[in-house]
Amino acid sequence: MSKNNGFKPKIIGFLCNWCSYAGADLAGVSRIQYPPNIRIIRVMCSGRIDPAFILEAFKDGADGVLVAGCHLPSDCHYLTGNFKASRRVALLRKVLKEFGIEPERVRLEWVSASEGDRFAAIVRDMVEQIRKLGPSPLKNMEAKA
Amino acid sequence: MSKSKLKIAFYWAASCGGCEIAVLDINEKILDVVQIADIVFWPVAMDIKYKDVEAMSDKYIDVCFFNGGIRNSEQEHLAKLLRQKSKLLVAYGACAHLGGVPGLANVANRKEVFEKVYATTFSTANPDNITPKPTVHVKEGELDIPEFYDTVRTLDQVVAVDYYVPGCPPAVERTLFAVDVIAKGELPPKGSVLAPLKSVCDECPRKKENKKITKIYRTYEKAPEPERCLLEQGIVCMGPATRGGCGARCLNADMPCTGCGGPCPNSPEQGAAMISALASILGLEEEKEKYTQEEVESLISQIKDPLGTFYMYALPASILRRKVVKE
């Protein structure tokens, strides 16, 4: 475990415009503390997340990726974007495992606009989880190549 | 003959030899090709040595059709040599274009591949555990064979490539199209894939009804209805994520597309594009209130070997290129 001392996970967060980004915003204006390891990218809908975005994030050095959208079943602004996101992420996780990347590095959560504290708790929990997993295995490989 | 003939070369690297046969699949049109071209190098058919290629002046060859990916040092050497000697280098077929089926070996490294091939397969008897070494000392001196790499690479990951002819092997119409544009000098911008921009679905004659699927079948588990979209019948078909130009020939033979044409230009990560497409068609939201993650998992677990299905030809060309192997 000593090698993970001082490891600061880099997490990319894809948050949907209508619920989760507003939830993160609420966490901010409410001064709720959460670790600064997450870099947030706002997208219109969790259904907009092409699995290629997540793969690209790992290639560019992310240790974890959070996808957050509106609660199932009926909060999605576009009706079914969150359903599609849930199946995409589930399928991608299977493929990631075959690529040798721990599927736990990708996390899908539902956060509504009123759940600032939930958002902060998810980020805290995820940072801790990624810290335990250690740096992305891709980094190790690139260092060798 | 007033005009001088085009000088054409063919080479094979990590490939099965099917692309060589695909060249001949153009049948009597090959006579038209020979009318306008001289073949100066073709190891599968002609006795010309590597040293003869080395003796050519730079850019001596007008067009080199290169099939196969790069998985050993000999192939890398020839890729660099032929690049130097050719005016146009064409990646011919899925292996040169994307890595192809041999590129699936990128889920392992050299050690694992050798272990499987030279030790653990049932038909192997190798008690001394001999595996290929680049250099061997025998009493007459030192013998060299090419070095086997950990990772299969596409041709354009090794040298600059001018054009791509997709397919495993390329469909006759793709080969003819390539020969035609080269002969007429009507070439698109460099780096182009010589195929239409749209997906296989665009050429597929089957009917789509926008039905959701709740059960996935492997090809042997179901005789498909002849006129309906295979994906909507629950058979995983790579058509939506795959570039057309093949005339949907597999679909016309009741077989699903496996993706040899590579990605469409607007969605260059083929496996991710297929994950997106498949996730959209897997249907559960009719029962919105009852939707659970467990149901999603059980639906998805029906897909056997997702990496091998979604990246059958494009693993070395994908964003991650290979599996992470922990030492």
Q: How far apart are CA A6 and CA B148, in angstroms?
A: 38
Domains and CATH numbers, chain B: 6-101+151-193 (3.40.50.700), 107-149 (no CATH), 200-310 (no CATH)
Start-to-end C-alpha separation, chain B: 61
* Residue of chain A whose Cα is closest to the Cα of B307: A95
A99 contact residues in B (CB cutoff 8 A): 307, 320, 323-324
Per-residue confidence in pLDDT tens, chain B, 327 aa: 446 889 999 999 999 999 999 988 888 888 888 888 999 999 999 999 999 999 999 999 999 999 999 999 999 999 999 999 999 999 999 999 999 999 999 999 999 999 999 999 999 999 998 999 999 999 999 999 999 999 999 999 999 999 999 999 999 999 999 999 998 999 999 999 999 999 999 999 999 988 888 889 999 999 999 999 999 999 999 999 999 999 999 999 999 999 999 999 999 999 999 999 999 888 765 666 667 778 888 888 999 899 999 999 999 999 999 999 876
d(CA A13, CA A23): 13
For the stretch A4-9, contacts whose Cβ atoms lie closer than 8 Å and that sit 24 or more positions apart, written own/partner, are A4/A131, A4/A132, A4/A134, A4/A135, A7/A131, A7/A134, A7/A135, A8/A37, A9/A37, A9/A63, A9/A64, A9/A127, A9/A130, A9/A131, A9/A135
> Is residue A143 over pLDDT 70?
no
> Is B291 within 8 Å of A87 when comparing Cβ atoms?
no
Give contacts of B280 with chain A, Cβ < 8 Å: 84, 87
Give the Cβ contact number of residue A94 at 10 Å.
18
Closest by Cβ to B276, choosing from A50, A56, A72: A50
Buried b (16+ CB within 10 A) or exposed e, B54-72: eebeeebbbbbbbbbbbbb
Length of chain B: 327
CATH class of A10-144: alpha beta
Q: Which two tokens stand for residue A115?
A: 């759940």
Instruction: Please identify which residue in the block is written with the tokens 């099939």.
Output: B67
pLDDT of residue B327: 61
pLDDT of residue A1: 47
Among residues B299, B314, B310, the alpha carbon closest in space to that of B238 is found at B310
* Closest residue, chain B, to A90 (C-alpha): B297
Distance from CA of A32 to the nearest CA of B (A): 29
C-beta atoms of A95 and B293 within 8 A: no
- Per-residue pLDDT at A14 exceeds 80: yes
- Judge contact between B68 and B95, C-beta under 8 A: yes
- Please tell me which of the candidates B276, B282, B297 has its beta carbon nearest to residue A51: B276
CB contact under 8 A, A52 and B323: no
Nearest CA to B86 out of B6, B178, B25 is that of B6
Q: What are the CA-CA distances from residue A34 to residues A113, A123, B174, B264 (Å)?
A: 17, 7, 56, 41
Q: Does B277 touch chain A if contact means CB atoms closer than 8 Å?
A: no
Report chain B residues whose CB lies below 8 A from the CB of A69. none
Closest CB to B320: pick one of A59, A94, A140. Answer: A59
Domain boundaries, chain A: 10-144
Q: What residues of chain A lie within 8 A of the CB of B299, using their CB?
A: 87
Contact residues, chain A, for B284 at CB < 8 Å: 83
Instruction: Give the tens place of pLDDT for each residue, A33-78.
Output: 999 999 999 999 999 999 999 999 999 999 999 999 999 888 999 9
ipTM higher than 0.85? yes
**Cβ(A36)–Cβ(A8) below 8 Å:** no
| CB < 8 Å from B in window 22-51 of A | 50-51
| Best residue of B286, B311, B319 to probe chain A, by most A CBs closer than 10 Å | B319
